[in-house]
Amino acid sequence: MHPRNKHLSGYDFPLLITHVPELKKYIVEKENGESTLNFADKSAVLLLNKALLLAHYGIKFWDLPEQFLCPPVPGRADYIHALADLLADDNKGKIPTGKSVRCLDIGTGANLIYPILGQSLYKWRFVGSDINKVAVKIAQNISMANRLDIKIKHQKQANAIFSNIIDKTDYFDITMCNPPFHASAEEAQQGTQRKWKNLGLEKVKGKNALNFGGHAPELWCEGGELGFIKNMIVESASFKEQVGWFTCLVSKKENINLLTKVLKQYKVKDFKTVKMLQGNKQSRFLAWQY
């Protein structure tokens, strides 16, 4: 994990249970006597991440309906910290903090996780967008309940990313996105089966047996991750004067070479791939500027 990640040393379960007592019944003991969580249980994962937000990020209220994606907080925090480092590179090595730093989270979802973490860790000001009206409403409720300075916009045009969200007078230091990874519901389910197998379970029954939850707009879209990010790059050219850095997570490393070719076609000034490591899992995001 990133060296500034609060979860480098693992989870303080006694502390987390004081914030979310229901979490206690999902704690299991390893053979070596250490406590861990039953990560195969969706309810356990939701309660863990709720407890992390309440215990470490100053949140008083956070909850999600069953159908929405539950984000793993430590990994999401790594993206925020890496973005802070990216901004520091343009600021003589000093991480810019405070409300003067404006960020746009594309596809913020009902969980509102990136704006919550970005505000808590660096006091940045956020706008979040989503195409799902219900997700927008839930995110707005979370923001209001915690008195957060976060604006959530509904993206009314299904195929648009920045259009209708970035106004003519807006300037964002950075944009971020956790895109839909898959091209279909079937592909998403196959990915879920792999997750469950990694948790020690050979087979999971039921199409919606996702340990982190999620539904169509969060998990898949036409063209999958590659198609989504290609569209993002194409559309970003129309907003090059209004954004410092465009960034987007890329789950499949084989997509990086294809996407960098698109960036070169659009003659971006600079681009880079930033790698992140959480345990045995490596993730990455693509960043570009004009």
pLDDT tens column, 212-237:
454 445 444 466 899 999 999 999 99
Higher pLDDT, 211 or 283: 283
Q: Which pLDDT belongs to residue 181?
A: 63
Produce one character per residue of 15-51: b if its CB has 16 or more CB atoms within 10 Å, e if not: ebbebbeebeebbeeeeeeeeebebebbebbbbbbbb
Q: What is the pLDDT of residues 105-154, one digit of tens each?
A: 999 999 999 999 999 999 999 999 999 999 999 999 999 999 999 999 99
Complete domains list, the chain, with CATH: 63-289 (3.40.50.150)
| Predicted pLDDT at 32 | 84
What global pTM score does this model have?
0.86
pLDDT digits (tens, 9 = 90+) for 15-72: 999 999 999 999 998 888 888 998 888 999 999 999 999 999 999 999 998 888 899 9
Whole-number Å distance between alpha carbons of 86 and 63: 31
How far is Cα 99 from Cα 103, in angstroms, rounded to an integer? 10
Strands (E), the chain: 27-29, 35-37, 102-106, 125-130, 150-154, 172-177, 243-249, 270-278, 281-289
Phi first, then psi, for residue 209 (nearest 5°) are: -80, 70
What mean pLDDT comes out for the span 156-177? 96
